[in-house]
Structure 1
Amino acid sequence: MIYYIIGIVSLVIFDQLTKLKIENNLFIGDTIPVISNFFHITYVQNRGIAFGVFQGKINIISIVTIVAIVMLIIYFFKTFKKSNFLERLSFMFIIAGAIGNIIDRIFRGYVVDMLDFRGVWAYVFNMADVYINFGVILILIEILLKSKNNKSQN
């Protein structure tokens, strides 16, 4: 259990350090091409949620997010002994990502985004978003593995 808590704290710290670095070194809208026309570091302030929806509804978003984080943490602790490594890892990443973004919403009033894959899509995101998506992918892999195991046992 302690390793997952340390993992969550470490991921949140890394997320916040990347956001702090962006805020302290770039102005809103500044972009640094890493791979020209494909990947840029672009400073964006997202006052909504994923893909910029619900812009300006930060109070409602924050309340819903805090409730979701608390529910995730409760579920994580209640199912910890029954869950396997992949499930634990997925929840560690999702919880860390949710905490990273709620810290921004509470203390900044917006979420700092900077990862800009122009060659893939039009949205800019951050490390916390990466954590959440990685956690969801791990859950999907776990579901597929369980489904495959159930089919092979029948």
Structure 2
Amino acid sequence: MYEILILVLIGIDQTTKYLVKTRLATGESISVIGGIFNLTYVENRGAAFGMLQNMKGFFVAVAIVVAIAGIVYIHRSRAKAQTSRKASSLAKINRLSVASIIAGAIGNLIDRVWLGYVVDFFDFRFIWSYVFNFADILVVLGTIVLCISVFLAGEDVD
């Protein structure tokens, strides 16, 4: 189930990036909500906020490690839940969170390997303009939910 979820999320990520690449020129922006939200095609060769520019090898290695560690965690956690016959809700939330993080990491990994950069396009302009993509949302939300879950459990859930 988690593997299918990961594939679906990667598919959504790659589809949205393909649509942006084929419909917008680099740097082109379309206003969706005047002055607040735009679709802006950016080729990001770094990480969040454009930090660590041109460190492709580092990002590829991190994404591979995250994906492998996440898959191992999901399988071990699921196996443990099946043998103990009591799968806690928090353990399921943790597995979903990790699946989200894996999908986001792989979505951006695909871009880095095939394109040499990550396609970003969600452009919210509040105090500053930060452009990101669906994979970034998956990683951030997955991480936040996982942290909250672990905090609420008060211990290692699995």
Instruction: Please indicate, yes or no, whether the TM-score normalized by the shorter chain is above 0.5.
Output: yes
**Where do 1:56-135 residues align within 5 Å?**
56-82=54-80, 84-119=91-126, 121-135=128-142
Query: How far apart are the structure 2 equivalents of 1:142 and 1:35?
Result: 33
Tell me the percent identity.
43
Which amino acid letter does the alignment assign opposite residue 104 of structure 1?
Answer: D
Length, aligned pairs only: 146
Which amino acid letter does the alignment assign opposite residue 108 of structure 2?
Answer: N
Q: Deviation digits for residues 65-109 of structure 1, max 9, x if unmatched?
A: 222322222222222234621111101100110010000000111
Instruction: Say which of 120, 140, 154 aligns to 1:147.
Output: 154
Tell me the CA shift for residue 123 of structure 1: 1.5
The alpha-carbon distance between structure 1 residues 89 and 121, as it changes in their structure 2 partners (threshold 3 A), is: farther
Give the conservation status (yes or no) of the 8 Å contact 2:119–2:133: yes
Query: How far apart are the structure 2 equivalents of 1:61 and 1:99?
Result: 11
Structure 1 runs (4+) deviating above 3 angstroms are none
Runs (5+) with no aligned partner, structure 2? 82-90
Give the conservation status (yes or no) of the 8 Å contact 2:27–2:42: yes
Which amino acid letter does the alignment assign opposite residue 79 of structure 1?
Answer: S
SS of corresponding position for 2:79: coil
Alpha-carbon RMSD across the aligned residues, in angstroms, is: 1.7
Query: How far apart are the structure 2 equivalents of 1:32 and 1:8?
Result: 29
Give the conservation status (yes or no) of the 8 Å contact 2:93–2:146: yes
Q: Deviation digits for residues 94-152 of structure 1, max 9, x if unmatched?
A: 0110010000000111000000111254211000000011101111221232139xxxx
Give the conservation status (yes or no) of the 8 Å contact 1:38–1:120: no
Q: Which residue of 1 aligns with 2:10?
A: 12
Give the conservation status (yes or no) of the 8 Å contact 1:16–1:100: yes
Q: Which residue of 1 aligns with 2:47?
A: 49
Query: How far apart are the structure 2 equivalents of 1:59 and 1:80?
Result: 32
Query: How far apart are the structure 1 equivalents of 2:127 and 2:141?
Result: 17
SS of corresponding position for 2:122: strand
Query: How far apart are the structure 1 equivalents of 2:127 and 2:144?
Result: 18
